[in-house]
Structure 1
Amino acid sequence: MSQISYQTEAAVTAEELSQVFKASGIKRPVDDLGRLDAMIKHADLLYSAWDGDKLIGVARAITDYSYCCYLSDLAVDADYHAKGIGKHLVEMVGEHIGEEVALILLSSPTAMGYYPKIGFEKIENGYIIKRKS
């Protein structure tokens, strides 16, 4: 493992995103590269963590830059867990959006214990219309 580098404008391919999603355990459409490519292209923010030329972490967000920011993906390769990578990616997003913008996310049940450790508060007033596919 070499020095971890963080990028704000790195070109991430759908294949790289698929690999980091698979390695992290996050549930995403990892075999639908067209959909992953659209997820990359339409994100407002994409921060990435790299071990050399290997993508090992990603934070992807949608925001209005004024009131709210939805952290749609936070994924770190399981081989790199507990090294502060996810926390650093979230901090990078937070620095970019500033103090007037709320950072919100939906968590998988397995990650519910993680987010309070990196500064998130649990909220009870959310609703969802689930995707059909």
Structure 2
Amino acid sequence: MIITYKTDKNINRDQLESLYNDVEWYAYTKEMEVLQRALEQSLDVISAWDGEKLVGLVRVVGDGLTIIYIQDILVLNAYQNQGIASRLMVQILEKYKDVRQKVLLTEEAPDVRHFYKKNGFISCDQGTLVAFAKLN
């Protein structure tokens, strides 16, 4: 298996829906048109492909100069634990290495915490930062 990475934001709707549904992010797929527009309006999108099959994606919003927010990073269940998410993260962090603030918000789980720590992130509950969110 050879995984290739692309920066094209125009991703087939069915493949996009399959990826988000596979990881059970159904809130995104309730309105596929909104998800596709969100990708198009993102600062950056890097996708991972096994041939013609979409297997992963990272999506970034922000100004790209002082802050980036890693909005989505996901990989099909069948392709997890093969380094794809790490490769996506490395590509984004390298591209925006001069940006001071790199932020993300995610659900708590031991494997999730390990992944982000491994990639150089510090949890706001373990430092001097505080995080706030208002979700609808």
What TM-score comes out, normalization by structure 2 length?
0.86
RMSD of the alignment, in Å? 1.7
| 1:87 corresponds to | 86
Q: How does 1:62-101 map to 2 (within 5 A)?
A: 62-101=61-100
Q: Which sits farther off after the overlay, 55-64 or 94-103?
A: 94-103
Relative to its length, the structure with more helix (as a share) is 2
Q: How does 1:12-27 map to 2 (within 5 A)?
A: 12-26=11-25
Q: Which runs of 5+ in 1 are unaligned?
A: none
Q: What is the rounded CA distance, in whole Å, between the counterparts of 1:80 and 1:99 in structure 2?
A: 30
| 1:121 corresponds to | 122
Alpha-carbon distance, 1:83 to partner:
0.8
Q: What is the rounded CA distance, in whole Å, between the counterparts of 2:97 and 2:70 in structure 1?
A: 14
Q: What is the rounded CA distance, in whole Å, between the counterparts of 1:99 and 1:17 in structure 2?
A: 30
Q: Quick one: which amino acid aligns to residue 126 of structure 1? A: A
The verdict on how the C-alpha distance between 1:84 and 1:62 changes in structure 2, with shifts beyond 3 A counting, is same
Q: Which runs of 5+ in 2 are unaligned?
A: none
Aligned residues: 130
Q: Quick one: which amino acid aligns to residue 130 of structure 1? A: L
Q: Which sits farther off after the overlay, 121-130 or 11-20?
A: 11-20
Alpha-carbon distance, 1:28 to partner:
3.5
| 2:41 corresponds to | 42
The verdict on how the C-alpha distance between 1:89 and 1:108 changes in structure 2, with shifts beyond 3 A counting, is same
The verdict on how the C-alpha distance between 1:108 and 1:46 changes in structure 2, with shifts beyond 3 A counting, is same
What TM-score comes out, normalization by structure 1 length?
0.87
Percent of aligned positions with the same letter in both sequences? 22
Q: Quick one: which amino acid aligns to residue 44 of structure 1? A: L
Contact 1:26 1:75 in 2 (8 A): no
**Structure 1 residues 6-42: Cα deviation after superposition (integer angstroms, max 9, x where no partner):** 1122531333222111223345321311111121111
Q: Secondary structure at the match of 2:57?
A: strand
Contact 2:68 2:99 in 1 (8 A): no
